[in-house]
A and B are shown apart, each in its own frame.
Chain A
Amino acid sequence: MSRSRISEYVTPESDARLVDRAREGDRAAFEKLVRRHIDAAHTVALAELADARDAEDAVQDSFITALERLEDCRDGASFGAWLRQIVRNRARSVRRREQIRRTEALDVAASASSGDSPYRDLERIRLRQRLEAALGELTGVQRTVVLMHDLEGYRHREIAVELGIPEGTVRSHLFFARRTLRERLGDSIQPEQTDG
């Protein structure tokens, strides 16, 4: 979930409180947790699988697993990090066992429909496919770093903590990941000037 989107969900109700309520079967509380963390979970899954549809499946499975194991989440305030670890494990498991479900092109097109014009949907699908192919050229950790940083807005330090690697290594992975993506994608992506 992008930082701007996270801010939309900032409420007095903390993750810890929502986790407590979800443990008691509160559907609304669980839904808030899902909405709050679904984008970050999707990014983590995408980093592992490099396929949007497979990532969605992994995210679904992970949220259900998390709900079933909520008692294992000792610190409700850290629910997000705990969930992302479940997603990561789930995605790796899927990849290892080669149980990735391949979908028909038509199915992808239908699922990716955003309500825009068919032309824009098609462009978006094509771009997504190119991006996924380019991401597939990266190592797993490079994908994770570039997606967390450039898609979700995490800072270098936060990514370093999440992955348990030095901050300098994060910067290095980010540099090489971006370079590889630019080489693969050429002019189809528009670089954004940021403070990096």
Chain B
Amino acid sequence: MAEHVDLTALRLDDVGRERLVASILERAEGELARRGAVDVSPMIILSRWMRPALAAAAVLAAVCVSVLAVDRGPAGIGTGLADALAVPQPAYAWLVGERGPTVADVLVAMETEAP
């Protein structure tokens, strides 16, 4: 199957192509004008900004969470995320140690927290 059949006589010649393009564009004028004249509603304009706005919000949220998680302040004063979320100090220790409180822990905590 190595031989092409020369069908180039069927191809649009330059004159024919230009005439066809001109005809198409002439017929398209009305639709193009209609499209150009359509007022874009404010909601559509706003929706075009929705994706960038959401992306910016996501980046901002990620930065804030990392700052809260990393910046725990001077040692012994605060516990960073635990302070921000108002987790009681003894409970935070249990969370970090990944263990449940013993009876003794609960008694100590109650006495410490009592006024």
Q: Report A's interface with B, CB cutoff 8 A.
A: 2, 22-27, 30-31, 34-35, 38-39, 42, 46, 52, 56, 59-60, 63-64, 67-68, 111-115, 124, 127-128, 131-132, 135, 146-147, 150-151, 171, 174-175, 178, 181-182, 185, 189-196
Contacts and interface: CB of A to CB of B under 8 A. Distances in A.
Interface in B1-48: 1-17, 19-21, 23-25, 27-29, 31-38
A26 B2 CA distance: 44
Contact of B5 (A25, A59, A111, A191): A191
B9 A192 contact: no
Contacts, number: 124
Nearest to A114: B13
Nearest to A35: B21
B6 A38 contact: no
Contacts of B5: 146, 150, 178, 181-182, 185, 189, 191-192
Contacts of A189: 5-6
A113 B13 CA distance: 9
Contact of A39 (B17, B23, B24): B17
Contacts of A135: 10
A193 B25 contact: no
Contact of A67 (B3, B19, B28): B28
